[in-house]
């Protein structure tokens, strides 16, 4: 992979073909319950009889024959087989002789290995790139694409066979992060091609931070708008999150031989100072299921399974919960912004709401991380603070806007404008920080309540909205 990347060979066709292959085989296994050699042969015989009058489809069916008795093995084994064959083709191509520039009698042999590509002349690199790109492009097999037509017209040919495919866990360590972006981007391209299958719906569940950082502009043929037009941003409301937590509680309590129908039954009663207990906890989340579930679980741990939770339990649980949420925010964004947690610590001990002057001072402290040789986020922080050093006549938004927008968009801070004092957060005002005029009009900045306990933030008459 590194060798081909050094030669600027696009691996997108290979990755797209792998996704199509895995999805095709999984759909066939699901539709026909293919779990043995006999089941596979029965399926092929039935399908071959169905498409016998279409030579193109019969030829496409030969694609499945190549897998013989390995058709029903796990997906990773099938992928490994395809990539090993691809590797063999690349190695074979690399052993071919290349004409050395300026000497038609001489030749050179390309050896596949990281760092080797830098040793070739420009002309040799160009020839190698063309050769290997042809090998990669061949993996976008015509028969595989033809099989998608078979899938549409002969396999999922009825509304009774309508199938949903849900792809999840793409944020886990399922692949080397160096190629994760390319693989996920190519998954979207494969899903786009599968739109031709009328009785199929592929749903990809992807965290916002990963989706926003996909390099759609990288050799995608200008398809970014298509990808984004097909995306649906999931947002949860207070009532939905209350129902979700209550449903989980009902199931958990039933397993323990008790019966709690609602989270309200185990939380303390409304407090004149703090209000509704669940709303209090919800205000300290980013309005996502994982946050409120983590807070509730932490509270139950503190209460030692007593069956009832007190306000003291909630307050004691908040410290641990807040610390873990800050770590989770770091982990969520560390791939795009290494060492971003060191920027968070610049706000330790803040009194909120912060005035623009106080907020600016802390941003200045964060910018000085560039002087630390051990800070791993120099590249992104230098980009976001470059106007501070290179544009002495710039406005506040020009100097600090990029960094302030980042902290707002990831949910770390909220902004206050006008005299009402209501804090705007990205959940309810997702486009707020994208407008320079909004940043210039902001008079107060606050750390989101989810992270205040972890950063020892103190309150100064703040009202959250």
Residue 429 sits in the same domain as residue 374: yes
Percentage of the residues of the chain whose pLDDT score is greater than 90: 42
Q: How confident is the model at residue 212 (pLDDT cuts 50, 70, 90)?
A: confident
Q: How confident is the model at residue 74 (pLDDT cuts 50, 70, 90)?
A: low
pLDDT greater at residue 57 or residue 213? 57
Per DSSP (E only), the strands in 88-143 are: 97-100, 103-109
Q: Tell me how far apart the alpha carbons of residues 141 and 21 are, in angstroms, rounded to a whole number.
A: 10
pLDDT digits (tens, 9 = 90+) for 91-129: 777 666 444 444 444 444 555 554 455 555 677 777 777
Is the per-residue pLDDT at 378 higher than 60? yes
Q: Tell me how far apart the alpha carbons of residues 226 and 92 are, in angstroms, rounded to a whole number.
A: 37
What local confidence, expressed as pLDDT, does residue 258 receive? 79
Q: Tell me how far apart the alpha carbons of residues 119 and 122 are, in angstroms, rounded to a whole number.
A: 10
The answer to whether the CB of 445 falls within 8 A of the CB of 359 is yes
Of 329, 354, 370, the residue that ends a domain is 329
Domain for residue 208, yes or no?
Answer: yes
**How high does pLDDT run on average in the chain?**
83
The answer to whether the CB of 31 falls within 8 A of the CB of 42 is no
Global pTM reads 0.74
Say which range, 99-108, 162-171, 268-277, has the weakest mean pLDDT.
99-108
Q: State the CB neighbour count (10 A cutoff) for residue 317.
A: 23
Domain for residue 21, yes or no?
Answer: yes
pLDDT digits (tens, 9 = 90+) for 297-338: 999 999 886 678 999 999 999 999 999 999 999 998 988 899
What local confidence, expressed as pLDDT, does residue 348 receive? 96
Question: How far, in Å, are 87, 239, 371, 423 from residue 94 at the CA level?
Answer: 10, 61, 45, 60
What local confidence, expressed as pLDDT, does residue 224 receive? 66
Q: Which two tokens stand for residue 255?
A: 């397993």
Residue 197 sits in the same domain as residue 290: no
| CA atoms in the 13 A half-sphere facing the CB of 376 | 8
Q: Tell me how far apart the alpha carbons of residues 84 and 151 are, in angstroms, rounded to a whole number.
A: 26
Is the per-residue pLDDT at 72 higher than 70? no
What local confidence, expressed as pLDDT, does residue 71 receive? 56
Q: Which two tokens stand for residue 175?
A: 């692949």
Strand-pair category, 422-424 with 463-464: parallel
What local confidence, expressed as pLDDT, does residue 335 receive? 83
Residue 247 sits in the same domain as residue 315: yes
Residue 295 sits in the same domain as residue 368: no
Domain for residue 24, yes or no?
Answer: yes
What local confidence, expressed as pLDDT, does residue 103 receive? 43
Q: How many residues does this entry show for the chain?
A: 465
Residue 274 sits in the same domain as residue 152: no
Q: List, as one string, the DSSP characters of 119-133.
A: GS-HHHHHHHHHHHH
Residue 69 sits in the same domain as residue 155: yes
Q: Can you say whether the dihedral through the CA atoms of 282, 288, 292, 294 is positive or negative?
A: negative
pLDDT digits (tens, 9 = 90+) for 16-47: 888 888 898 888 888 888 777 777 778 878 88
Q: Kindly tell me the burial class for residue 274, based on how many C-beta atoms sit within 10 Å of its own C-beta (0-12, 13-18, 19 or more).
A: middle
Residue 213 sits in the same domain as residue 347: no
Q: How confident is the model at residue 210 (pLDDT cuts 50, 70, 90)?
A: confident
Q: Tell me the residue range of the domain where 143 lies.
A: 2-229
Say which range, 127-141, 160-174, 194-208, 444-458, has the weakest mean pLDDT.
127-141
Torsion angle of C-alpha atoms 306, 311, 317, 322, degrees rounded to 10: 150
Q: Tell me how far apart the alpha carbons of residues 227 and 202 are, in angstroms, rounded to a whole number.
A: 13
What's the angle, vertex CA 139, arms to CA 94 and CA 25, rounded to 5? Answer: 135
User: How many domains does the chain divide into?
Assistant: 3
Nearest to 198 by CA among 155, 134, 232: 155
Nearest to 219 by CA among 175, 182, 247, 166: 182
Say which range, 146-160, 209-223, 292-306, 434-448, has the weakest mean pLDDT.
209-223
What local confidence, expressed as pLDDT, does residue 100 receive? 42
What local confidence, expressed as pLDDT, does residue 99 receive? 47
Domain for residue 86, yes or no?
Answer: yes
Q: How confident is the model at residue 277 (pLDDT cuts 50, 70, 90)?
A: very high
Residue 276 sits in the same domain as residue 150: no
What local confidence, expressed as pLDDT, does residue 211 receive? 80
pLDDT digits (tens, 9 = 90+) for 250-259: 998 888 777 8
Residue 344 sits in the same domain as residue 373: yes
Residue 30 sits in the same domain as residue 98: yes
Average pLDDT over residues 196-208: 91
Domain for residue 172, yes or no?
Answer: yes
pLDDT greater at residue 139 or residue 159? 159
Residue 99 sits in the same domain as residue 138: yes
The answer to whether the CB of 297 falls within 8 A of the CB of 267 is no
Q: State the CB neighbour count (10 A cutoff) for residue 453.
A: 19
Of 310, 329, 348, the residue that ends a domain is 329
Of 192, 210, 229, the residue that ends a domain is 229
Residue 316 sits in the same domain as residue 359: no
The answer to whether the CB of 192 falls within 8 A of the CB of 224 is no
């Amino acid at each position: 992979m590194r060798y081909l990347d050094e030669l600027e060979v696009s691996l997108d066709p290979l990755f797209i073909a792998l996704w199509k292959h895995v999805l095709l085989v999984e759909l066939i296994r699901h539709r026909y319950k293919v779990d043995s050699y006999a089941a596979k042969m029965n399926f092929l015989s039935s399908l071959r009889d169905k498409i016998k009058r279409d030579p193109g489809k019969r030829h496409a069916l030969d694609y499945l024959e190549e897998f013989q008795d390995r058709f029903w093995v796990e997906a990773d084994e099938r992928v490994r087989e395809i990539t090993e064959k691809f590797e063999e083709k690349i190695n074979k191509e690399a052993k071919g002789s290349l004409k050395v520039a300026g000497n038609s009698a001489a030749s050179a042999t390309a050896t596949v290995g990281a760092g080797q590509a830098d040793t070739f002349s420009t002309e040799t690199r160009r020839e190698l790139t063309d050769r290997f790109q042809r090998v990669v492009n061949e993996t976008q097999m015509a028969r595989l694409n033809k099989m998608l037509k078979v899938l549409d017209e002969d396999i999922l040919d009825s509304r009774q066979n309508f199938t949903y495919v849900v792809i999840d866990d793409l944020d886990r360590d399922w692949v080397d992060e160096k190629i994760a972006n390319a693989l996920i981007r190519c998954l979207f391209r494969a899903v786009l091609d599968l739109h031709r299958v009328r009785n199929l719906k592929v749903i990809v569940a992807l965290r916002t931070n990963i989706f926003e950082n996909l390099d759609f502009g990288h050799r995608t043929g200008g398809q970014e708008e298509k990808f984004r037009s097909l995306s649906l941003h999931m947002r949860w409301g207070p009532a939905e999150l209350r129902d979700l937590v209550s449903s989980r509680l009902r199931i958990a309590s039933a397993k323990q031989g008790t019966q709690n129908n609602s989270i309200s039954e185990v939380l303390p009663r409304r407090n004149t100072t703090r209000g509704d207990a669940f709303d209090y906890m919800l205000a300290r989340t980013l309005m996502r299921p994982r946050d409120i579930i983590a807070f509730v679980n932490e509270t139950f741990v503190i209460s030692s399974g007593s069956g009832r939770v007190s306000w003291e339990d909630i307050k004691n649980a908040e410290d641990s919960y807040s610390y873990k949420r800050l770590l989770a925010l770091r982990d969520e964004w560390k791939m795009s912004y290494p060492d971003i947690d060191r920027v968070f610590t610049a706000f330790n001990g803040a009194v909120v709401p912060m005035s623009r002057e106080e907020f600016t001072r802390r941003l200045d402290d964060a910018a000085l991380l560039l002087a630390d040789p051990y800070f791993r986020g120099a590249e992104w922080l230098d980009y976001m603070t470059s106007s501070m050093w290179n544009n002495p006549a710039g406005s506040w938004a020009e100097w600090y806007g990029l960094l302030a927008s980042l902290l707002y968009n990831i949910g770390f801070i909220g902004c206050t404008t006008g005299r009402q004092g209501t804090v705007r957060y990205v959940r309810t005002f997702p486009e707020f920080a994208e407008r320079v005029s909004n940043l210039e009009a902001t008079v107060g900045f606050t750390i989101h309540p989810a992270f205040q306990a972890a950063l020892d933030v103190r309150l100064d008459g703040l009202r959250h909205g």
